[in-house]
Structure 1
Amino acid sequence: MSVAEPRRIVLFRHAKADWPQVSDHDRPLAERGRRDAPVAGRRLADSGIPFALALCSTAARTRETWKLAVAELPERPRTVYEERIYEASPGELIAVLNETPDDVRDLVLIGHNPGVQALTEILAKDAEGDTRQRVDRRGFPTAAFAVLTFPGSWKSLEPGTATLVDYWAPSE
């Protein structure tokens, strides 16, 4: 693929997690999370984005979210479970994204807040329609996702280089 073609990133926050007596990394989804993750997956399927790659945190709640969401997609993308996404800052997430091979056009990153919301805000110089206002109003609740586009190679992704083109959050 040409680096002139715009790339798409979906930044997807894990669904609602439970709080049992386990380490934070091992927290499973709550019942609401198990309901919301497939709904988010159907909404991703409706977007028509043909994901080539999924980058997923190694935390139990992100893995479970992705397992439930990806089952709703028409095709399963190659999935890489990346420990650096867990508790990552926006800068650390950009570093992970910068390593993406240029033959990947569309990817989804399944991660955590505050990193996912902050990365959305940092990358998006521009926004289509009312997407920025919707993010500002709703924040980034569990199972929400933002779709951003940017030109150039993955190595060129940096703050202020993307456009926020879509945003979705489950109703509460």
Structure 2
Amino acid sequence: MSVDTPRRIVLLRHAKADWPDVPDHDRPLAERGRSDASVAGRRLADTGIAFDLALCSTSVRTRETWKLAVQELPTRPKTVYEDRLYDATLGDLLALINETPDDVSDLLLVGHNPGTHALADALSGTSEGDTIARMTRSGFPTSAFAVITFPTSWKSVEHGAGRLVDFWTPHD
């Protein structure tokens, strides 16, 4: 695959988490979160994107979200559980994207807010239709995802370099 091959990233926020008396990293999904994660997986399958790689935070709620969502996909992509996605800053997230191998054309990132929303906002220089307005209005709720395309290599991804082509939330 050429470094000039168009790239696509899907940013998926974890599903609704419960609030038991455990450390934040160990919070499981709430009942609604389990349902929404499966719905998000079906909607991801509907996009027709065949992910080459999924990067998932190591938190319990992101791992549970991915476990439920991936069951809905026609094929399971290679999955890497990445510690740096938990509590990641915008700079951390951009660095992870820039490290993505050139043979990956479709990348899925399962993470947290505020980082996921900040990243979608920062990368989306242009958009199709009202996708940016809808994303801004919704605040990137749990189980939501954004699809952003790039005309260049992952190493060249930077602020404003992408086009937001889809934004979905489970409770529109």
Partner of 1:164: 164
Structure 2 unpaired stretches of 5+: none
Calculate percent identity across the aligned residue pairs.
69
Q: In the alignment, is residue 97 of structure 1 matched against residue 97 of structure 2?
A: yes
1:133 positional shift: 1.1
Q: CA RMSD in A?
A: 0.8
Matched position secondary structure for 1:122: helix
1:4 positional shift: 2.0
Q: Deviation string for 1:71-101 (max 9, x for gaps)?
A: 0000000000000000001110010111110
Contact 1:3 1:151 in 2 (8 A): no
Runs of 4 or more, structure 1, over 2 Å off, are none
Output the CA distance in 2 between the equivalents of 1:98 and 1:125. Answer: 17
How many residues align structurally? 172
Q: TM-score, normalised by structure 1?
A: 0.98
Output the CA distance in 2 between the equivalents of 1:59 and 1:119. Answer: 19
Partner of 2:115: 115
Moved more, 74-83 or 132-141: 132-141
Partner of 1:138: 138
Contact 1:15 1:33 in 2 (8 A): yes
1:96 partner letter = L
Output the CA distance in 2 between the equivalents of 1:108 and 1:28. Answer: 21
1:137 positional shift: 1.3
Q: TM-score, normalised by structure 2?
A: 0.98
Partner of 2:28: 28
Q: Deviation string for 1:37-73 (max 9, x for gaps)?
A: 0000000000000100000000000000000000000
Partner of 2:12: 12
1:40 partner letter = A
1:28 partner letter = P
Output the CA distance in 2 between the equivalents of 1:171 and 1:101. Answer: 34
Output the CA distance in 1 between the equivalents of 2:2 and 2:129. Answer: 27
Output the CA distance in 2 between the equivalents of 1:124 and 1:68. Answer: 28
